[in-house]
Amino acid sequence: MSKKRGTSAKATAATMVLDVLKKRGAYNEKSAIPVAEFKNLKLTTTTISYTISNLVEQGVVGRTEDDLYYYDEEGYNRLSKRVFKGYAVIFIIPIVAIILVFVFQKMMS
């Protein structure tokens, strides 16, 4: 969500859902909004439902007992850190392995 994309074709469903929550000021259980607030998104009902469900599962969106939704900034930050760590592992391990192979070859010659 680093760039402001609006509801253009480039915006993902998750971005669009999170934008609705932020624009409505739904940042906690007290300011949570019903699912009907998402009706104007240019997405199918199934896509909206699936997206909200995934965001709730990932901890980015909170859900109250009476089915209201809000943006969870802390949940988003936790998810961002997990994703960063995952990418770091994907890139760091191969680089370290290449360096070790290079050093081992130099030592053997």
Residues 83-104: tens digit of each pLDDT: 888 888 888 888 999 999 999 9
Residue at token pair 């070859």: 105
State which H helix or E strand residue 41 sits in.
Answer: none
Nearest to 18 by CA among 8, 28, 26, 30: 26
**CA 55 vs CA 41, 77, 94, 96, 99: distances in Å:** 16, 13, 31, 34, 38
Q: Give the tokens for residue 77.
A: 């930050």
Question: pTM for the full model?
Answer: 0.70
For residue 66, the SS3 value is coil
Q: What is the pLDDT of residues 21-64, one digit of tens each?
A: 999 999 999 999 999 999 999 989 999 999 999 999 999 999 99
